[in-house]
Amino acid sequence: MGHWENAGIPDDFDGVVRLFPLPNLVLFPHVVQALHIFEPRYCEMLSEALESDHLITMALLNSGWEHSYQGKPSLASTVCIGRIISHTPTDDGRHNILLAGIRRASIVQEINNGTLFRQAEVKILEDITPLDFSEKAPEHRKTLMNVFKSVIPQDAAQSKTFSDLLSQQLPLSILTDIIGYAANLPTPFKQKLLAEVNVQVRYEMLMQQLGPAIATAEDPIVDEIPSPTSLAPREFPPPFSMN
């Protein structure tokens, strides 16, 4: 985490966001994603963001987007508002940026402001943590970290990035977002995690999906663990995503 964590949503935020839809990327709060921007409509989006609030909102394209990519294909209703924390233009008019996720939001309606890129009115979503669950948060945090460590490549588990993650004693709400983003899980599942504001449910979803790695863990929340989906090693941290 960095200084951008304290930036938050601007005080004058009016609920209107610039949408950057992609078919294979789900951004979460508390993580940083590298993006390579080159389409004219998204270069316009970036230029407007850099001249104002530095905010871009990542949205996942629903299945079937291939038939209308240049138009307005359907989007998942839960999105992640991000803040540009680094911008490097290239000689050929393209752009490399780092986008830090800051808040979950739900699309209320799309609006037409005459721009090439899509915009929407959104509602900020707040996390909910049941009291009885929060009382055992340290135990759940330890269990989740052990499971995550067991399913990532050994070099990543021994990296400074992972060591820093362990040492920060992050709230479980943040940890579920970071692991949900970093683990090699199906994109539709990641979108379900993003849409879930109940921290206990997010935790249980992750534990179920990560599978039998917790067979020896003592955690009363998990009774039966199904076989995991694809857990092939993913680069940690992930590389640039293209638009």
Q: Cβ–Cβ contacts within 10 Å for residue 176, how many?
A: 28
Q: Are 137 and 172 in contact (CB under 8 A)?
A: yes
pLDDT score recorded for residue 241: 57
Amino acid at 183: A
pLDDT score recorded for residue 66: 59
CATH of the domain spanning 3-126, picked from 2.60.40.10, 1.10.8.620, 2.60.120.10, 2.30.130.40: 2.30.130.40
Q: What is the full per-residue pLDDT of the chain (243 aa) written as tens digits?
A: 455 555 689 989 999 999 999 999 999 999 999 999 999 999 999 999 999 999 999 999 988 655 665 668 899 999 999 999 999 999 999 999 999 999 999 999 999 989 999 999 999 999 999 999 999 999 999 899 888 888 777 777 677 777 777 677 889 999 999 999 988 899 999 999 999 999 999 999 999 998 754 444 444 433 332 333 333 334 444 454 556
SS3 212: helix
Q: Are 23 and 60 in contact (CB under 8 A)?
A: yes
Whether pTM exceeds 0.85: no
Each domain of the chain, given as residue ranges in start order, spans 3-126, 131-214
C-alpha 157/C-alpha 234 separation (Å) is 12
CA distances from 117 to 60, 152, 174 (A): 15, 36, 30
Q: Are 205 and 193 in contact (CB under 8 A)?
A: yes
42 backbone dihedrals φ, ψ, rounded to 5°: -85, -25
Among 68, 100, 233, CA closest to 174: 100
Provide CB contacts within 8 A for 39, sequence distance 6+: 243
Q: Are 60 and 21 in contact (CB under 8 A)?
A: yes
pLDDT score recorded for residue 70: 61
pLDDT score recorded for residue 130: 96
